[in-house]
Chains A and B, each alone.
Chain A
Amino acid sequence: MDISTYRADFPILQQAIKDKPLIYLDNAATTQKPQVVIDALVHYYTHANANVHRGVHALSERATHAYENARTTVKNFINAAHTEEIVFVRGTTEAINLVAQSYGRSHLQAGDEILLTELEHHANIVPWQLVCEQTGAKLRVIPINEAGEINLDDVIALINKRTKLLAVGHISNAIGTINPVEDMIKIAHANQVPVLVDGAQAAPHMPIDVQALDCDFYTLSGHKVFGPTGIGALYAKAQWLEKLPPYQGGGDMISSVSFEKSSYNRPPFKFEAGTPNIAGAIGFATALDYLTKVGVANTQAYEQELLAYATQALSEIPGLRIIGTAEHKASIISFVLDKIHPHDIGTILDSKGIAIRAGHHCAMPLMQHFKVSATARASLAFYNTRQEIDCLIRALYEVKEVFG
Chain B
Amino acid sequence: MSDLRELYQEVIIDHNRNPRNFHKMQDANKYAEGYNPLCGDQLNLFLKIAEDVIQEVSFEGSGCAISTASASLMTEALKGKTIQQAEALFNTVHGLLTKDEATDWDRLGKLVVLAGVKEFPARVKCATLAWHTLHSALTNQVIAASTE
| Contact surface of A with B, Cβ cutoff 8 Å | 340-344, 347-348, 351, 358-360, 364, 367, 373-374, 402-404
Contacts and interface: CB of A to CB of B under 8 A. Distances in A.
Given A341-B63, A347-B7, A359 B42 contact: no
23 contacts: A341-B63, A341-B64, A341-B68, A343-B64, A343-B66, A343-B123, A344-B64, A347-B4, A347-B122, A348-B4, A348-B8, A351-B1, A351-B4, A359-B39, A364-B40, A373-B40, A374-B40, A402-B8, A402-B13, A403-B13, A403-B16, A403-B17, A403-B65
B16 to A, nearest CB: 8
B63 to A, nearest CB: 7
B44 to A, nearest CB: 14
Range, interface on chain B: 20 to 34
Interface string B16-56: 11000000000000000000001111100000000000000
Contact of A358 (B3, B17, B39): B39
A358 B13 CA distance: 19
B141 to A, nearest CB: 24
Contacts of A344: 8, 64-66
B126 interface: yes
Among B1, B39, B120, max chain A CB count under 10 A is at B39
Nearest to A404: B13
Contacts of B122: 347
Nearest to B3: A351
A255 to B, nearest CB: 44
Given A344-B65, A373-B62, 4 more contacts: A341-B68, A344-B66, A358-B39, A364-B40
B62 A359 contact: no
Contacts of B16: 403
Given A359-B39, A374-B40, A403-B65, A347 B13 contact: no
A342 B67 CA distance: 13
A200 B42 CA distance: 30
A342 B126 CA distance: 12
Nearest to B40: A373
Contacts of B13: 402-404
Nearest to B62: A373
Nearest to B1: A351
B1 A341 contact: no
Contacts of B65: 340-341, 344, 403
A367 B40 contact: yes
B8 A374 contact: no
Nearest to A403: B13
A175 to B, nearest CB: 16
A365 to B, nearest CB: 13
Contacts of A359: 38-40
B22 to A, nearest CB: 14
Contacts of B66: 343-344
Contacts of B41: 373
Contacts of B126: 343
Given A341-B63, A402-B13, A403-B65, A347 B120 contact: yes
A351 B123 CA distance: 13
Contacts of A360: 39-40
